[in-house]
Amino acid sequence: MAGKIIITIDGWSACGKSTLAKQLALKLGYLYVDSGAMYRSITLYFLRNHVDWTDTNEVKDALKNIILEFIVNPKTKQSEIFLNGENVEYLIRDLIVAEKVSDIAAIREVREFAVAQQQKIGAQKGIVMDGRDIGTTVFPGAEVKIFMVAGSAIRVERRFKELFEKNPNISLSEIKTNLEMRDYIDSHREISPLRKAKDAIELDNTNLSEKEQFDFALKLVNAKLV
């Protein structure tokens, strides 16, 4: 069997990228890195500390005080993100963070900070990383690249189910507006916009079960590991 590889999973919000990435990492014994969690954690720090992200100097100063780590939870066997020593895996899923993360992730200094950390984590390979620009900017040489898409209605439904347990007052219209806004910002930003890498395999899971999409992805991975 070949040595460990890098697997990238890019795509639109609420397409199930993290679900698939976690499953693959668990199956392969790889580290799962949620790049979106990194940007969400930075956003959480900015919100908590009232950082003016339109001020480049404030952004640079704030980033100096941020330490991000992925630590595997022994109970779930899944990696969770820590911000300056605090587990913020669930705090970063709030809608208030979701509403600001695309704006903050579009800032050049923020992306350079996050990409440098992502590349450092992946230096030893054996990782599955999902996000928006992993296969294009972070790891253009990754052995397996998947680009996930899904119909708008199913994406809204999935994100609604994810957030409803934490916030029963949330509405489908709020979710739809948030996803449309994030899609636009992610695909139109100047720095590392969301786009499919030329050598990425598209996975449309609109009508697929979790098992079907997992089997599809695992087949791609196994083809590279023989």
| DSSP run (H or E) holding 11 | strand 6-11
Average pLDDT of span 150-162? 93
- Domains of the chain, CATH where assigned: 6-33+95-212 (3.40.50.300)
- What b/e sequence results for 65-78 when a residue is b if at least 16 CB atoms lie within 10 Å of its CB, and e otherwise? ebebebeeeeeeeb
Identify the pLDDT of residue 2.
63
Per-residue pLDDT of 208-218, as tens digits, reads 999 999 999 99
- State pTM to two decimals: 0.87
Q: How far apart are CA 188 and CA 17, in angstroms?
A: 20
Q: Residue 77: its pLDDT value, please?
A: 82
157 and 14 in contact (C-beta within 8 Å)?
no
Report whether pLDDT(173) > 60: yes
Cα 85–chain centre separation: 20
